[in-house]
Amino acid sequence: MWFSLSVILLTAWTCLADPADTMTHSMSAHRSASTRSRRMVGGTLAPHVPWQAMVYLGDSLLDGGFAGGALICDRWILTAGRNLFVNKSRQAIQGKAPTIPKVYLDISSKEQATAAKEHAVQKVVLHPHFQAQSDWDNDLALIQLKDPVVLSKTLIPIPLPCSSRSHLTEVGRSGAIAGWGLGALLTPASSIKHLVLPFANQSECKEEYEHQKHTPAVDDHMFCTGPTVYEENVCFGDAGGALAVRDPIDGDVYAVGILSYDKCCRTSKYAVYMKLTAYLPWIHHVIRGDTTESAKLRSTVMAEMYSRQPQTLPAV
């Protein structure tokens, strides 16, 4: 691991608290203080999140723990690549294959993660440049389920944004993320919690981490969120969750990022995500089942179709 377990436990102990009840902007000062004292670090109990997946390696950090993921179609889960390894540092992972996790869907509490809610995994696909230069590079993985899930009101995928929706991550906007991150007494939350977090200035986030060890080198394939007004933030175990944003143009909800750096807790300001618009070609390539010959074959067929038409159209 990139730093000793003792440091992890000390950091987590200083920044974690119990789940909170739902907060509103109109709550009294007394209730605000009470909620914060119970306080992902902090977070409020979430409604059922129908795209949320639990990606499970083990109950404890030493066994790999468990984290989040997002159902993006009936057979594919998108998560952080680091979630598929017990020891998650680049040094420990080099040359090792990812672990096939257990995947649970349609659950809102840890106790619901039973055999009835488990979906068998066919394969996992890491991004080809995962951890190319650092622990956090291209921190994405796709998990293919053996069988399609039966979609319902409580189990639905979350759409991915097209590249033209860059406005969804602009400073001044916010997104919601859910997870089972560590809580009081260094234990995961028993029920799923959520936070609504503001998008952060990219240059400020990059500057915050560029001189720190064991933190992301924030690049154009990433974006950041800051803490809530009560200094609540994501923490250990929330990685892999989708940051969901509602588009004011069409009213639909999109997963704009997958949480990678979830170790901010109360010791760092910014959470860091993989920006999904930057990874759409890879995601679609994997889900389509492309081989090394697929692009060439498509091009050949396209050229053949044009060659059989009268030469009155512009060439491809």
58 in a structural domain = yes
In 3D space, the residue among 218, 156, 228 whose CA is nearest the CA of residue 193 turns out to be: 228
- Which residues touch 146 (CB under 8 Å, ≥6 apart)? 119, 120, 121, 122
CB 265 within 8 A of CB 93: no
CA distance 45 to 36: 13
Q: What is the residue type of 41? A: V
CATH number for the domain including 242?
Answer: 2.40.10.10
Domain count along the chain: 1
Give the pair of three-digit tokens for residue 162: 């097209």
194 in a structural domain = yes
Averaged pLDDT in 10-residue chunks for the chain of 316 residues: 36 34 33 37 80 93 90 98 94 93 95 96 97 94 98 96 85 94 66 94 94 90 94 91 94 96 85 96 92 85 86 62
288 in a structural domain = no
In 3D space, the residue among 36, 8, 7 whose CA is nearest the CA of residue 262 turns out to be: 8
pLDDT at 10: 37
- Its sign, for the CA torsion 165, 167, 168, 169, is positive
pLDDT at 47: 85
34 in a structural domain = yes
pLDDT at 40: 65
Computed on alpha carbons and rounded to an integer, the radius of gyration of the chain in Å comes to 20
Name the 3-class secondary structure at 299.
helix
Domain encompassing residue 216: 5-282
pLDDT at 185: 53
305 in a structural domain = no
pLDDT at 32: 37
pLDDT at 315: 59
116 in a structural domain = yes
pLDDT at 268: 85
pLDDT at 19: 32
| Integer CA distances (angstroms), 163 to 96, 174, 276, in order | 33, 18, 9
Over the stretch 180-206, which tens digit does the pLDDT of each residue have?
887 545 566 788 999 999 999 999 999
295 in a structural domain = no
289 in a structural domain = no
Over the stretch 79-92, which tens digit does the pLDDT of each residue have?
999 999 999 999 99
pLDDT at 28: 36
CB 192 within 8 A of CB 177: no
Residue 142, beta-bridge partner list: 78, 125
